[in-house]
A and B are shown apart, each in its own frame.
Chain A
Amino acid sequence: MKRFDWSVLTAIVVLAVSANPVFAASKNTVSAQKTVTASAVIVPAQVAEMGFVISGIAKEIPVKEGDTIQAGQTLMVLDTPDLQFAVTEAQAGLRAAQAEAQIRSNEIIKKYIVIYRRQSVTLEKLRLDVPHEVIEMANANEQRAQASVEIAQARLAQGTLTAPFDGVVTSLNVIPGEFVQSDQAVITLATLNALQVETTDLSEREIPNVQIGDPANIFIEALDKNISGKVINISPRADPVGGDVVFKVTIAPDTQPEGLLWGMTAEVEIQSGE
């Protein structure tokens, strides 16, 4: 009997406590603090899917999947003997042009001396008597040869891929000896030390409640872990997903938990501060 009384009492208390917030919430749909929930996925802050602007055969690939890369490190080199020879040729051309310019300027100096010794003339007259254009032309030729070297080097550089930022090689689609098409994505570099969370199904009906800077709770299913974060971006344009109109909201977690991987699913709860 005593036990029964206790249960009834508990039930009444539970009813009173639980019923009140339910009623309050249903009456006032736009409550002071609203929680927006959505499914989300873990993505890197920066991803580059790199390729070449020229076609060729992959010669050297000094990295492998999973490698941590510093900005500027060489990732892949194409076998481009023609471009290499073009550089050698242009460099030879430059040396020839430099020698030519040197010879011409020596000749001119000699001529100056000869004329100067024979008759006393003004410097202006000297300039007019000697074909100084010869040296100007030789200089221009040298400049042109210099430009040719730069062009050949720039073409050769198109056969080398270097890392644009610090990151991890997340995919590598070719092996040495394989032919690579121009614009084929061959290597993916991502910053895995700064993973972010992107919502996948946050509906247009919820988006007016979300603002940049709003705090969010991120539940990562795979790790069974809750982490806090902050809304850092809201897509200015909706995407249609299966008949629904959704907006992508990006959340930066405050900490990077151990074991968090690109593509893991998460549930986010955004607390709107309105």
Chain B
Amino acid sequence: MKKINTYRAERRWSSRASVLLARTGTESSPGILLMISLLTVMTLFLAACTSMASTPTPIPTISLDDNNAASGIPSSDAASVSASASIVPLKKAELSFANVGRVKAVDVRVGDQVKAGQVLVELDTILLEAKVKEAEANFALAQVQVNYLKRVGTDEVHLESAQAEADSAQALLDSANTTLATQSTLVAPFNGTVVTVDISPAETVVPGRVIITMGDLSRFQVETKDLSERDVPRVQIGQTASVFIESLNEEFPGEVIDISRISSTVGGDVVFKVTVDLDQQPQGLLWGMSADVNIEAAKQE
């Protein structure tokens, strides 16, 4: 890790030097050509300094190269298993409506904190409300019939029949009310943060299309993306792991808590998802950040 940091610092340094050159270059007029050439010499001198500062090594092209280095060693000989990973919340949900409808209001924005049961999106409910009214009127009709028969006195069978009709109307009314209550709003299933909002007022929703993603961003874990099938037999639940989070430039201890029971394919390679729980939640962690996981795996016999 140390080495990589030196590369980065070095690259930053040399890029700054060239930016400096570019800026000075554009500002100068043709009248002071000599100064430009002097500056060029100076920049070359600076560049020479940077290359002298450490032994010349190839510049890393991508940030995953330490992982490549690890996979270069025959995996069975290594005492640990490395993989790149990403940060995911423990609890996450992709929410969609179960019915077609037109959006009346979107009550949340990306980044909002929401409570379980809070309304996130409301649909237009004029039709559903009218259907409830109709069911109410039908129930009232059936109820009047029952009351009339009870009052004037009739045989058991007729009364029973009227009562059954009233019960049926009651059930339809309950159904209409439930439809109104459940199909007209999208509510948060748990306390969390709204992560994506893919809907606007007056747009239509169709069943199953994800319109809101939310997650509980108070608790994150780490999921590997490229842990090969060759390495997975040595990984066991309970093994300790160290998680290096690139954007925080810090290493955190963790523990393997889950190994996927089924593989997935990443660019022709068969990989298994291994989940690592962090012993403590670092500050500033965000969903989707990259991490390098190093699992203290058992040596293969």
Interface of A with B (CB < 8 Å)? 7, 10-11, 14-15, 18-19, 22, 25-26, 29, 46-53, 128, 131, 133, 136-137, 140-141, 143-144, 146-148, 150-151, 153-155, 157-158, 161-165, 182-183, 185, 189, 203-208, 233-240, 243, 245, 247
Contacts and interface: CB of A to CB of B under 8 A. Distances in A.
Given A48-B202, A147-B133, A154-B130, 20 more contacts: A10-B35, A22-B20, A26-B13, A29-B12, A48-B203, A131-B152, A133-B145, A136-B144, A143-B133, A143-B136, A146-B137, A150-B126, A150-B129, A151-B134, A158-B102, A189-B202, A204-B288, A236-B194, A238-B86, A245-B86
B144 A133 contact: yes
B35 A205 contact: no
A247 B111 CA distance: 13
Best-surrounded residue of A51, A161, A238 (most CB of chain B within 10 A) = A238
B126 A141 contact: no
A163 B203 CA distance: 10
Contacts of B111: 233-236
B141 A236 contact: no
A164 B110 CA distance: 20
B215 A237 contact: yes
B75 to A, nearest CB: 23
A236 B133 contact: no
Contacts of A155: 127
B202 A162 contact: yes
Contacts of A48: 200-203
B109 to A, nearest CB: 8
B38 interface: yes
Given A7-B35, A22-B46, A182-B100, A204 B137 contact: no
A144 B138 contact: yes
Given A22-B13, A53-B100, A147-B133, A238 B20 contact: no
25 contacts: A7-B32, A7-B34, A22-B13, A25-B16, A29-B12, A48-B200, A48-B202, A53-B100, A133-B148, A140-B140, A141-B137, A143-B133, A143-B136, A150-B133, A153-B126, A158-B102, A183-B204, A204-B289, A204-B290, A207-B247, A235-B111, A236-B194, A237-B215, A245-B289, A245-B290
Given A151-B131, A154-B126, A204-B247, A236 B110 contact: yes
B247 A205 contact: yes
B252 interface: no
Nearest to A212: B111
A102 B127 CA distance: 28
A165 B106 CA distance: 12
A51 B203 contact: yes
A7 B86 contact: no
Contact of B196 (A133, A203, A234, A237): A237
Interface in B117-151: 126-127, 129-131, 133-134, 136-138, 140-141, 144-145, 147-148, 151
A250 to B, nearest CB: 8
B159 interface: no
B87 to A, nearest CB: 8
Given A155-B127, A208-B248, A237 B288 contact: yes
Contact of B62 (A163, A233, A243): A243
Nearest first, the 4 A-B pairs at minimum CB distance are A238-B288, A144-B137, A164-B201, A150-B130
A243 B266 CA distance: 13
A148 B136 CA distance: 12
B101 interface: yes
A161 B202 contact: yes
B195 A237 contact: yes
B181 interface: no
Contacts of B136: 143, 147
B107 interface: no
B183 interface: no
A19 to B, nearest CB: 8
Contacts of B228: none
Given A15-B42, A50-B203, A143 B289 contact: no
Contacts of A50: 202-204
A214 B248 CA distance: 19
Nearest to A151: B130
Nearest to A136: B144
Interface string B65-89: 0000000000000000000001000
A207 B215 CA distance: 19
Best-surrounded residue of A7, A46, A154 (most CB of chain B within 10 A) = A154
A240 B225 CA distance: 13
Contacts of A14: 24, 35, 38-39, 42
Contacts of A233: 109-111
Contact of A46 (B12, B147, B195, B200): B200
A207 B245 CA distance: 13
Contacts of B129: 150
B13 A146 contact: no
A256 B151 CA distance: 75
B180 to A, nearest CB: 13
